[in-house]
Amino acid sequence: MSFNAQIFLLLCFFLQCFLGKTEAQTIQNEGVKIPGTAISFRLALLPGGVFQMGSTSKEAGREDDEGQFAVTLDSFWIGICEVTWDEFFCFQFRHADSDSSFVSTGFQADAVARPSPPYFDFTYGRGRTGGFPASTMTQQSALRYCQWLSDKTGYFYRLPTEAEWEYACRAGTQTAFSWGDKPKQAGEYAWFYDNSAGSYQKVGTKKPNAWGLYDMHGNVAEWTLDFYVADYFQSLDSVLVNPIIFPNKKHSRTVRGGSFEDFTPQLRCADRRKSDPKWQARDPQIPKSKWWNPDSPFLGFRIVREKNTPSKAERDAFFEKVIRD
Give the pLDDT band (50/70/90) at residue 123: confident
Given pLDDT bands bounded at 50, 70 and 90, which one contains residue 10?
very low
Nearest to 126, CA basis, from 114, 135, 137? 135
DSSP annotation of 84: B
| Domain count of the fold of the chain | 1
Quick one: which of 268, 267, 258, 58 has its CA closest to 176? 268
**Cα separation, 16 vs 163, whole angstroms:** 16
pLDDT band, residue 109 (cuts 50/70/90): very low
At 101, phi and psi to the nearest 5? Answer: -85, 150
State the pLDDT at residue 122. 84
Pick from 264, 126, 92: nearest CA to 188 = 264
Q: Is the peptide bond before 294 cis (omega within 30 degrees of 0)?
A: no
Residue 122, domain extent: 3-322
The mean pLDDT value for 148-169 works out to 97
Confidence (pLDDT) at 167: 98
* pLDDT given at position 67: 92
**Per-residue pLDDT tens for 74-107?**
999 999 999 999 999 999 987 544 443 433 444 4
What is the Cα–Cα distance from 211 to 20, expressed in whole angstroms?
A: 10
- Phi, psi at 324, each rounded to 5°: -130, 125
Amino acid 325: pLDDT: 73
**In this model, does residue 119 exceed pLDDT 90?**
no
Which pLDDT score, from 0 to 100, does residue 30 have?
97
Cα–Cα distance for residue pair 177/220, rounded to 1 Å: 16
- Cα separation of 255 and 128, whole Å? 22
Q: Please say if the pLDDT value at position 188 is more than 60.
A: yes
Can you give the CATH number for the domain in which 131 is found? 3.90.1580.10
- According to the model, what pLDDT value does residue 105 have? 40
Once rounded to an integer, what is the mean pLDDT over residues 44-68?
Answer: 96
**What integer is the mean pLDDT of 13-34?**
64
State yes or no: pLDDT of 8 exceeds 60: no
| pLDDT per residue as tens digits for the range 268-291 | 999 999 999 999 999 988 899 999
pLDDT digits (tens, 9 = 90+) for 216-270: 999 999 999 999 999 999 999 778 999 999 999 989 999 999 999 999 999 999 9
Cα angle 293, 112, 320 (rounded to 5 degrees) comes to 75
For residue 111, the model assigns a pLDDT of 79
pTM: 0.90
Average pLDDT, the chain: 89
- Would the pLDDT of 110 be above 80? no
Does residue 121 surpass a pLDDT of 90?
Answer: no
Cβ–Cβ under 8 Å, residues 189 and 201:
no
The per-residue pLDDT for 19 is: 40
